[in-house]
Amino acid sequence: MEQNQTNISFNRLLDTIKILRKRCPWDAALTNEQLRTLTIEEVYELSQSIMENNVADRKKELGDVLLHIIIYALIAEEKGEFALTDVFDALNEKLIFRHPHIFGDVKAETPEEVSKLWEQVKLKEKGGNKTVLGGIPQALPSIIKAYRLQDKASHAGFDWHEKQDVWPKVFEEIDELKAELEKGDADKSEDEFGDLLFATINAGRLYGINADTALERCNAKFTSRFNHIEARAKEKGLRLKDMTLEQMDELWNEAKKIERQAK
């Protein structure tokens, strides 16, 4: 019964989108290139709903992402490139191929073992990655890309033996950055700052912390606290540009106290 309802709902959605593609001037004019930037926006909105643990928004944003997937497939079908069913079939074949521990006789019992197995399988996959780092999109945001580079290299055996071994490297990068800053060399300072960020992201990865998620939490916290400063300043009849750092810091600590009380 549940499977039938899923089929009914999906087919109804597919029919609706096909009608829009034929009859709506805006939907009919959509191209892959026009849709690409909109898709990126939708994925970020989905990410935000996940970060905020907003179930209602997550359901809505998942629908928006699904809409884009279907439209991409319909555009391809119109061009005679492939159909939506081809997308399903290709994905199904890839899932089976990449899970030989489920559909074959390979043994992998922990998430870590499965993750390492995936990297090995991808290198053997027809049309797949030719190098260990080859499957990482160049357009990824830098922090996410750094994490993925480190993660993939780790699965190939290029990693610290013990996670605590990463800290001397982090401190080394701090010292090298300070040295270049003191010399006043902007280009080398930027280079060393990148090394420090990369090492810090790596440290977080080794301790099970995703740098992108951690930084986004920090961004949200900073935004909330700064908004508090702005609101309280307005209540006091003050303008931010006329306040001293000490006055702002007092309101910042007030915001932190409110956060602790709310937990």
SS3 111: helix
| pLDDT of 230 over the 70 cut | yes
| pLDDT of 144 over the 90 cut | yes
Query: What one-character DSSP code corresponds to residue 242?
Result: G
**Count of all residues that appear for the chain in the document:** 263
End-to-end CA distance of the chain: 43
pTM greater than 0.75 (yes/no): no
pLDDT in the model for residue 54: 95
Q: What is the pLDDT of the chain when averaged over all its residues?
A: 92
User: Which residues touch 58 (CB under 8 Å, ≥6 apart)?
Assistant: 46, 49, 50
SS3 97: helix
The stretch 89-98 carries a mean pLDDT of 93
C-alpha closest to that of 238 among 249, 250, 230? 230
